[in-house]
């Protein structure tokens, strides 16, 4: 069994404790690698390395920082087949989708490298003979804590925002599938960055993640994950004052009005529902469908769900692999059981594949519920699996109030041929991103981030870069 070390201060290190932990293949349930189980000594070492590297990196010419990111992006593109194979092996993402996501990650990195070159300060005209301006500067050492659902993309998105703007960082990937993070560190080594600018620390969130988030030398915590962990980070980070950029969970409402283009809606929404086995924060969480189009839409959604090719993610024909772990499959299955128990009607899926070889892996078939009501657990909580929850609303219902009646506020979409009407919903829905006739339609130029329990701050785009900078007031008087 291959065993992997951590990348700290420009060196490969084992944990002082010599402990390791396993990574599994969700398609077969087999152990595929062992990673170093970082602990408090490694947190200290990594934060100190990032702290030491900050003075040099923050003052490096912008072209140098952007150049380093472009080298990393080029190396990712050169190695896309191998990186995708690892994502498929330890995460279960279908191979063709994994290649696209990794290519998208390298584009995001290049966007951040280029866009940071045009970030500027501002001049303030307050007094004659005095020049007052706002200087945009990096925040400092960033703890970048990432989730398991799109492992390499999440690391690249955060590292490139931090580095492009002159910060240094410690990356803490999720323990469930952190092999890709170690492979990413090998790319960093090849890209030849100054030691300590990026450090990759593997280990459990509850100890390593918590120690990082609360470390006094950490100035910014950029975390993507569940809202529960986000709240824990808010508490533990408050031992000192830090910038927080938190991208958290969602239960995203989708509203289909009576004039929706149902073919288009079913195609786009089924794609986002079942992509990555539903383990995507922006996937449709609950559908509110006008009664006039409810049955026709459900028919199309179910037909599209039945076309999903569930199988070995290494096979290029597969469009949906397993969920990430046995524990997560149990959680998704518990939600399905609760839907049935609370009276929703299962019209597609809901079961595991039983035929070999899929019986060994952690698969859940594409699932569609109808007859869901607002009070059911599956209508309120994030399932993070391939499960569509469809509700038929009554024309007398205040559908905006129903959609807003949830702790999350990540994203939403409305489907209608009446653009003005669609946009009106956009102003009323309490979410961070909103689309008419699209869903989760993203690019490196587009900011992303939720409100309410879905998070704080934006990632991606110029707005995301700004989160990793702070403004300092500078002023001088003109004399003579
Ligand atoms: P998680 O909260 O379990 O873990 C996220 C990261 O936090 C991991 O690296 C974990 O090790 C670490 N962690 C755990 N406890 C910690 C602690 N006490 N202190 C510091 N770090 C700690 O999330 P997950 O299960 O990996 O990911 C799924 C969740 O992520 C879902 O809720 C999903 O909606 C959310 N997500 C949100 C976005 C977004 O952009 N809003 C994107 C992807 C995923």
Are the beta carbons of 294 and 392 closer than 8 angstroms? Answer: yes
Mutating to test ligand 1, I would choose from 205, 210, 382, 411 the residue with most ligand atoms within 8 A of its C-beta, which is 205
Are the beta carbons of 109 and 69 closer than 8 angstroms? Answer: yes
* 480 within some domain: no
* 50 within some domain: yes
Looking at the structure, tell me whether residues 270 and 235 fall in a common domain: no
147 has pLDDT over 90: yes
The pLDDT of residue 479: 86
The pLDDT of residue 217: 98
Rounded mean pLDDT of 237-260? 97
* 221 within some domain: yes
Residue 457 CB–ligand 1 contact under 6 Å? no
218 has pLDDT over 80: yes
Residue 409 CB–ligand 1 contact under 6 Å? no
Q: What is the CATH number of the domain that holds 228?
A: 3.40.605.10
> Nearest 5°: phi and psi at 261?
-80, 100
Residues 163-198 pLDDT 10s: 999 999 999 999 999 999 999 999 999 999 999 999
Distance 227 CA to ligand 1 centre (A): 8
77 has pLDDT over 90: yes
Looking at the structure, tell me whether residues 179 and 303 fall in a common domain: no
Looking at the structure, tell me whether residues 265 and 242 fall in a common domain: no
247 has pLDDT over 70: yes
**Sign of the alpha-carbon dihedral angle for 304, 309, 313, 316:** negative
* 449 within some domain: no
The pLDDT of residue 416: 98
* 92 within some domain: yes
- Closest-CA residue, ligand 1 atom 21, reads 209
% of the chain residues with pLDDT over 90? 97
Element (H, E) at 343: none
- Contacts of the segment 81-84: beta carbons below 8 A, 24+ positions apart: 82/183, 83/152, 83/180, 83/183
Q: How confident is the model at residue 133 (pLDDT cuts 50, 70, 90)?
A: very high
- Closest-CA residue, ligand 1 atom 16, reads 205
The pLDDT of residue 184: 97
* 210 within some domain: yes
Looking at the structure, tell me whether residues 282 and 309 fall in a common domain: yes
pTM greater than 0.85: yes
| Mean of per-residue pLDDT scores for the chain | 97
Distance 452 CA to ligand 1 centre (A): 16
Looking at the structure, tell me whether residues 213 and 285 fall in a common domain: no
* 409 within some domain: yes
The pLDDT of residue 354: 87
Looking at the structure, tell me whether residues 313 and 383 fall in a common domain: yes
Q: Is 128 exposed, middle or buried (0-12, 13-18, 19+ CB in 10 A)?
A: exposed
Please give the tally of structural domains in the chain: 2
3 has pLDDT over 80: no
The pLDDT of residue 357: 84
Rounded mean pLDDT of 248-277? 98
Is 186 a known active-site residue? no
Residue 246 CB–ligand 1 contact under 6 Å? no
Distance 424 CA to ligand 1 centre (A): 32
Looking at the structure, tell me whether residues 437 and 460 fall in a common domain: no
Distance 357 CA to ligand 1 centre (A): 30
Residue 325 CB–ligand 1 contact under 6 Å? no
Is 281 a known active-site residue? yes
Looking at the structure, tell me whether residues 416 and 313 fall in a common domain: yes
Q: DSSP 3-state assignment of 216?
A: coil
The residue segments making up the domain with residue 292 are 252-444
Residues 437-473 pLDDT 10s: 999 999 999 999 999 999 999 999 999 999 999 999 9
427 has pLDDT over 70: yes
Residue 174 CB–ligand 1 contact under 6 Å? yes
Name the β-bridge partners of 367. 387
Q: Which two tokens stand for residue 231?
A: 């709240």
Among 42, 87, 110, 247, the one annotated catalytic: 247
* 479 within some domain: no
Residue 407 CB–ligand 1 contact under 6 Å? no
Residues 372-405 pLDDT 10s: 999 999 999 999 999 999 999 999 999 999 999 9
Looking at the structure, tell me whether residues 241 and 298 fall in a common domain: no
Distance 465 CA to ligand 1 centre (A): 21
The pLDDT of residue 478: 92
From residue 67, give the alpha-carbon distance in Å to each of 51, 339, 467: 22, 51, 21
Looking at the structure, tell me whether residues 157 and 288 fall in a common domain: no
Residues 152-172 pLDDT 10s: 999 999 999 999 999 999 999
The pLDDT of residue 204: 96
Looking at the structure, tell me whether residues 236 and 258 fall in a common domain: no
Q: Which two tokens stand for residue 68?
A: 């380093």
Looking at the structure, tell me whether residues 199 and 285 fall in a common domain: no
2 has pLDDT over 90: no
Q: What is the CATH number of the domain that holds 272?
A: 3.40.309.10
1 has pLDDT over 70: no
Among 142, 156, 169, 281, the one annotated catalytic: 281
Q: Which two tokens stand for residue 4?
A: 């992997």
From residue 300, give the alpha-carbon distance in Å to each of 262, 270, 273, 286, 307: 8, 9, 13, 16, 11
């Amino acid at each position: 069994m291959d065993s992997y070390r951590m990348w700290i201060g420009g060196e490969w290190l084992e944990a002082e404790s010599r402990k390791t932990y396993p990574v599994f293949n969700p398609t077969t349930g087999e152990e595929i690698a062992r990673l170093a189980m970082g602990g408090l000594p490694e947190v200290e070492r990594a934060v100190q390395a990032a702290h030491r590297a900050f003075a040099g990196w923050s003052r490096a010419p912008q072209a140098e920082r952007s150049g380093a990111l472009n080298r990393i992006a080029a190396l990712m593109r050169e190695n896309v087949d191998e990186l995708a194979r690892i994502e498929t092996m330890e995460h279960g993402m279908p191979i063709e989708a994994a290649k696209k996501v990794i290519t998208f990650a390298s584009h995001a990195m290049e966007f951040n490298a280029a866009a940071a070159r045009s970030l500027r300060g501002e001049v303030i005209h307050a007094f004659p003979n005095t020049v007052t301006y706002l200087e945009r500067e990096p925040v400092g050492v960033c703890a970048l804590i990432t989730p398991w659902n799109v492992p390499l993309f999440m690391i690249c998105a955060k590292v490139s925002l931090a580095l492009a703007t002159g910060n240094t960082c410690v990356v803490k990937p999720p323990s469930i599938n952190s092999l890709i993070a170690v492979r990413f560190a090998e790319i960093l080594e090849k890209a030849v960055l100054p030691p300590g600018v990026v450090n990759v620390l593997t280990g459990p969130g509850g100890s390593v993640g918590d120690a990082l988030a609360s470390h006094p030398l950490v100035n910014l915590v950029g975390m993507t994950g569940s809202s529960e962990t986000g709240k824990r980070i808010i508490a533990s980070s408050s031992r000192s004052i830090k910038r927080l950029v938190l991208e958290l969970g969602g239960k995203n409402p989708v509203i289909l009005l009576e004039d929706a283009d149902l073919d288009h809606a079913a195609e786009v929404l089924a794609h986002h529902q079942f992509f990555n086995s539903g383990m995507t924060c922006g996937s449709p969480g609950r559908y509110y469908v006008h009664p006039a189009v409810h049955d026709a839409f459900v028919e199309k959604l179910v037909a599209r769900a039945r076309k999903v090719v569930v199988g070995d993610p290494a096979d290029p024909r597969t469009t949906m692999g397993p969920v990430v772990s046995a524990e997560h499959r149990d959680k998704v299955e518990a939600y399905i059981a609760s839907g049935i128990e609370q009276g929703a009607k299962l019209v597609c899926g809901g079961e595991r594949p039983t035929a070999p070889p899929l019986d060994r892996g952690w698969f859940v078939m594409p699932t569609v519920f109808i007859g869901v009501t607002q009070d059911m657990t599956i209508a309120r909580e994030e399932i993070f699996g391939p499960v569509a929850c469809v509700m038929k609303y009554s024309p007398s219902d205040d559908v905006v109030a129903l959609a807003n009646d949830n702790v999350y506020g990540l994203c939403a979409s409305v489907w209608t041929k009446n653009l003005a009407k669609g946009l009106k919903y956009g102003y009323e829905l309490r979410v961070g991103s909103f689309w008419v006739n699209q869903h989760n339609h993203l690019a490196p130029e587009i900011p992303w981030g939720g409100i309410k329990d879905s998070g704080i701050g934006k990632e991606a785009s110029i707005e995301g870069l700004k989160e990793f900078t702070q403004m300092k007031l500078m002023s001088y008087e003109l004399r003579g």
